[in-house]
Amino acid sequence: MSGVVKDFACTDDEVYLRKLGYSIGTTIGEGSYAKVKSAYSEKLQKRVAMKIINRRKAPKDFREKFLPRELKVLKAVNHPYIIKLFEILEFEHKIYIIMEHAGHGDLLEYIKLRGAVPEDRTRHMFRQLVQAIAYLHSNNIAHRDLKCENLLLDYQNNIKVSDFGFSRYFEESTLSKTFCGSAAYAAPEILQGIPYYVPLHDIWAAGVILYIMVCASMPYDDSNIKKMIKDQLERKVGFSRSRVVSPEAKDLIRKILEVNTHKRFTIPQILGHPWMEAGDTEPTPGTSHEKPRTTTSKTEQVDDAVANQDKGAPQSEVLAAMV
């Protein structure tokens, strides 16, 4: 009798998911038209993350352009430092994306809790991020929304790149004018509306992430975008005297946050930098030679559309309490 009462108290979608072997747990994150819940999969015999998207609440641009891109990329990628997709379900007006569960939250939470990350640990985690980016770019995929909140951590604090809502396929000759993601992680050419080579979006963002990891603060104040662009163009990447950052780490950050796109470090140059090669001898699987789950004979030809950035507080304010 108690089981009948429990089923009756459940919503239709919860009953549907239970029949498929999923027990829904707590809410991990929530937005205006999507939420992420923890769940237990009987088939996989482990916890998973379930992203639930409400089609009725989602804007048209997202439903028709960004969601299909996200699902296409998630189905294709297969890398140890990218969140793994297990299954996609549809029920009535909702889509359920079942993914790997990263039990230690995201990198921003990690830094808020612990402060600046020691350089040896930063080097290890940053190498994982760069390898994930290298893999994506080798398969003609750009993430375009890399930020600390989208870097999840598993139970061993390994990086898991997530949230491919702004991702897209590109060709070597592809230039874009689209601004998407967070201004705090965007290169000056993107903020100025100058056509840019799509992978450069990810490389600059990686430099911002590296700075945040070793400094526990933002390299630029994004509360004033016009001033931030000016500081970027004038190469004003400052380091607090209260934090010890090695000259080698500073050099790498400055070479990634290079305004001149022809001089900005490439992925091979980042991986070959002396700071990256020092200290960490642990083998790291999943370099760029790995193949995606499915291959595409031709890269996708899609028109870019201007994507709105989040209206929340500037990233510099989010990190201000940590320093």
Cβ(151)–Cβ(303) below 8 Å: no
Q: Are strands 34-41 and 46-54 parallel, antiparallel or unpaired?
A: antiparallel
Burial class (CB in 10 A: 0-12, 13-18, 19+), 311: exposed
Give the type of residue at 38: S
Binding residues: 51
What contacts 210, CB < 8 A, 6 or more positions away? 122, 126, 249, 252, 253, 256
Binding residues for ATP: 51
For residue 120, give the H/E element and its range.
helix 119-138
Token pair of 17, please? Answer: 């998911």
CA 48/CA 175 separation, integer angstroms: 37
Cβ(253)–Cβ(182) below 8 Å: no
- List the catalytic residues: 145
Cβ(91)–Cβ(13) below 8 Å: yes
